[in-house]
Amino acid sequence: MSDESSQVIRILFVEDNVVDVELALHQLKRAGIRYVWRRVETEAGLIAGLHEFAPTIILSDFSLPQFDGMSALGIAQQHAPAVPFVFLSGTIGEERAILALRSGAVDYVLKDNLGRLATSVTRALSDAAEDVERVRQEALIARLNRVLHMLSGVNSLVLRIRDRKELLRETCRLAISVGGYAAAIASTKVPDIAAMQPVAWSGIDDEVTEKLRSYVAESAGRESSVVGKVIRTGKEFVCGNTAAQSATVNFDALMVHAGLRSVAVLPLVIDGAVIAVLVLCARDSNIVGAEEMEMLREVAGNLSFGLQYIQRDTTARFLSHFDSQTGLAKRPLFCERVQRLVASATSRGPRYAAVVMDIERLSVINDSFGRRTGDLLLRHVADRLKYYYPKTDQIAHFTGGTFALISPQGDRTEEEIQAAGYRQAEAIFGEPFQVEGRSIPVAVRTGFALFPEDAPDATVLVQNAEAALHGARATGGKHVRYSSTARLEGVGQLALEHRLRLAFERQEFELFYQPKVSVITRRIQGAEALIRWRSPQDGLVLPGDFLPILESSGLIVQVGDWVIRQAAQDCQRWLRDGLPPIRVAVNIAPAQLGHPDFVRDFLRAVEPWSTKTSGLDVEITEGVLQEDSLTEVNRLKLLRDTGAKIAIDDFGTGYSSLRRLAALPIDTLKIDRHFVAACVGNPAGASLVKTIIALARTFDMATVAEGVEKQEQLDFLWHMGCDQSQGFLHSPAVTAAEFGLLLRHGKGRLIQPAESEELSESNASGF
Ligand code: C2E
Ligand code: CA
Ligand code: CA
């Protein structure tokens, strides 16, 4: 090797004869070898020489006055096994030569044939270098193997664990037990401030790990520190030899003291921001090479994905409990909180009033000032409520202009409660609201119910307060207690129920269809069937006005069955008319799905004619699939086996965690129109829609946006990769006949005619 000769070698002579040393050096010099040397001639001298001089080669006589060559070889092998040992001696005889080589000497050179010495030394050194390299390679492969195992371990953690701390804790443990690191520490960002805090750690030496942990905790805030720099720059930090590094004094001193030579600090990044760091330390120097770093980057990437996923899941769950506009609890969470309150109340008190209030004529405000002003107004109302009820878990925003609150009443009489309610409403709503330069006066109606007098538990309490509000609307009352209205409500309901029964017998219900349009091609891919009541007395009545009665009376089961049969009939007629096949979704009420004949009736209506491209799908709400609804889940599975797709309606308004949904038979998420409305010009709304779409994709679910009214919303949905769009932008729900025309010709620039058959085939596979 050419550079071997230019290197300075370090020779340790085990030799009593100075002249022999000089002769040997003369030969080496002639061969162009550069060297430094030392001579020893006793056992003690040899041991000291090996350690202090650190030779790269040993040249040893075979017999010395106070020592012998074979013992020297034994000592050298023990203290410096990697240093080549060459005998340089007078005649030693073949047998002893063989023994010497077997014992680990790499060569022997006779003193009367010194011409061979330079070649022998050169070869011994290059062999030794190769050995070192081979050992290094083997160690490297072994290490890479361990890190590879760690990587695959982390991947399965990411798939399995849904808790951030636990994920990091298990990762640290893996880094030690599988990855072969000596210590691992994970720090995550503390919300709202710049700091990071260690949340998980593991190590082979507890004391060392603890020291490192406090260093990481303490230094994260210092921008100049190793950890601080990684957090600030988002760039990984690797050091192969902490003993030689000088830029990061404290850290290195600590590491060196702990016997840790290699360290890697990896940033975990979500959306371009560092949200956590993973610190890995090892005892040996220079072990984090390029390949290992490559794998560690992958570990960090997959961990980041896992954390992001967990975060999104939590955000989605969080947002599903709270109203995104006002930040107040939604109805289910409010009921839960009320339940907790009343559960702790005893028979002697405290008493509570549940109050539900409704902003009068919110729709007029929306119509005259615009939806945006209406939304802002709701936010202002929420803010005032928060001001008067600083314990925000007392208040809630149900839907539209309806707010609710729960307050302790002590032993006030009903009159006192009434009076206090008036005063409170006056205080909160007496002054007009200033919204975007407009002064908007707001009037509210409230209904309330008392616990325990009016209701045995939280659910009924809230329901009865709502019933009281309905009563207030009907009677024009301002602040109405439950019991006084209950009877009135009952009469109204019975009358309406009777009218609906008649309507059903007289076939006054009708199905309208609203197109679902491919966000990419803008072609009609499907439709949703929506029920209408063509009342001879009141004209076309929307489901909002009669569905609750159908549901509470149980009529919904028969009417729902009719909806399925009617939709099937309409579909078949479109097919007969030569229109392109599409899939039509029907809404299924919980009571329908709960009915034992549901699957049988559905299949009867659909099986004779449906194909992959034309048939009926179902839309259900999240609530249907809560906890112990095994039967319902199995029914949906049966439907699905025959080709019907299952969609979750109004997604985002209910309770479900997406993770739970992933285990259910669901093909499609319909993003609730409130989120779609908030997705443009509202970062929280936009991020929620984005999250829902991204998560749906990870679960292989399709997404349909509801209530798309504006081009900007459609553009946003297109960017986010939403599959289908439904809303007034494309078309309102229209009669079956009108829908046939839409299918054939399309309308305006937003809907193309429906797709030809081949096109919808290729699309159906992706959907
Ligand atoms: P849904 O399932 O969320 O249906 C969508 C509702 O949003 C429809 O109201 C539709 O007319 C309306 N909509 C569509 N595009 C837009 C838009 O761009 N902006 C706005 N603001 N609204 C839009 P509809 O027809 O009044 O139905 C209300 C609800 O009644 C439905 O909500 C569904 O839950 C229920 N429903 C309708 N038909 C049936 C049925 O046959 N059976 C059952 N069980 N429920 C039904
Ligand atoms: Ca629906
Ligand atoms: Ca919906």
Tens of pLDDT along 674-698? Answer: 889 888 887 777 877 887 888 788 7
Contact 764, 557 (CB under 8 A): no
Name, in order, each residue with C-beta under 8 angstroms of 676's C-beta and a sequence gap of 6 or more.
Answer: 689, 705, 706, 707, 708, 713, 717, 727
Does residue 698 come out as left (phi exceeding 0), alpha (psi in the -120 to 50 range) or beta?
Answer: alpha
Ligand 1 pocket, mutate which of 513, 514, 530 (most atoms under 8 A from CB): 530
Ligand 1 pocket, mutate which of 587, 616, 646, 728 (most atoms under 8 A from CB): 587
Q: How far is CA 494 from the centre of its chain?
A: 48
> DSSP labels for 466-522?
HHHHHHHHHHT-SEEEHHHHHHHHHHHHHHHHHHHHHHHHTT-EEEEEEEEEETTT-
Contact 672, 652 (CB under 8 A): yes
Beta pairing partners, 620: 648
Residue 186 CA: distances (Å) to CA of 169, 172, 234, 252, 302: 8, 7, 15, 19, 15
The CB density around residue 342, as the number of other CB atoms within 10 Å, is: 20
| 551 Cα nearest atom in ligand 1 | 44
Domain with CATH 3.20.20.450 in the chain: 497-761
- The residue whose C-alpha atom lies closest to atom 42 belonging to ligand 1 is 587
Cα gap 426→386, rounded to integer Å: 16
DSSP state, 617?
A: E
| pTM exceeds 0.75 | no
Reference 338, options 328, 360, 353; nearest CA is 353
Before 683, cis peptide (omega within 30)? no
Q: Amino acid letter at 104?
A: G
Q: Amino acid letter at 635?
A: R
Cα gap 229→497, rounded to integer Å: 70
Q: 48: CA distance to ligand 3 center in Å?
A: 85
Cα gap 661→657, rounded to integer Å: 7
Residue 56, classed as helix, strand or coil, is coil
Cα gap 274→221, rounded to integer Å: 13
Q: 707: CA distance to ligand 1 center in Å?
A: 9
Any residues with Cβ below 6 Å from ligand 1, and which? 514, 530-531, 542-544, 547, 560, 563, 587, 589, 619, 649-650, 673, 706-709, 727-728, 733
pLDDT at position 484: 45
Could you report the per-residue pLDDT of 440-473, keeping only the tens digit for each? 888 898 999 998 888 888 888 998 899 888 877 7
Domain with CATH 3.40.50.2300 in the chain: 3-133
pLDDT at position 193: 64
Domain with CATH 3.30.70.270 in the chain: 318-482
pLDDT at position 749: 40
Contact 181, 282 (CB under 8 A): yes
105, two tokens? 């000497």
Q: For the domain 161-311, what is the CATH superfamily, name and number?
A: GAF domain (3.30.450.40)
pLDDT at position 348: 64
DSSP state, 581?
A: P
Residue 287, classed as helix, strand or coil, is coil
Contact 274, 267 (CB under 8 A): yes
- The residue whose C-alpha atom lies closest to atom 10 belonging to ligand 1 is 733
The CB density around residue 90, as the number of other CB atoms within 10 Å, is: 11
Residue 198, classed as helix, strand or coil, is strand
Phi, psi torsion values for 303, nearest 5 degrees: -60, -45
Cα gap 632→93, rounded to integer Å: 93
Burial of residue 396 (CB within 10 Å: 0-12, 13-18, 19+) is buried
Say which CATH class 3-133 falls into. alpha beta
Which residue ranges of the chain lie beneath pLDDT 50? 1-5, 484-485, 487-489, 655, 748-749, 756-767
Q: Interhelix angle for 117-160 vs 18-30, to 10°?
A: 80
Q: For the domain 497-761, what is the CATH superfamily, name and number?
A: EAL domain (3.20.20.450)
Taking 3-state DSSP, the helix, strand and coil percentages for the chain, each rounded to the nearest 5, stand at 50, 20, 25
Residue 10, classed as helix, strand or coil, is strand
Name the strands in the sheet holding 196-203, side by side, starting at the edge strand that comes first in the sequence.
196-203, 183-189, 273-282, 262-270, 237-239
Domain with CATH 3.30.450.40 in the chain: 161-311
755, two tokens? 């797709």
Does residue 192 come out as left (phi exceeding 0), alpha (psi in the -120 to 50 range) or beta?
Answer: left
pLDDT at position 70: 93
Residue 598, classed as helix, strand or coil, is helix
Domain 318-482 annotated CATH 3.40.50.1220: no
pLDDT at position 462: 92
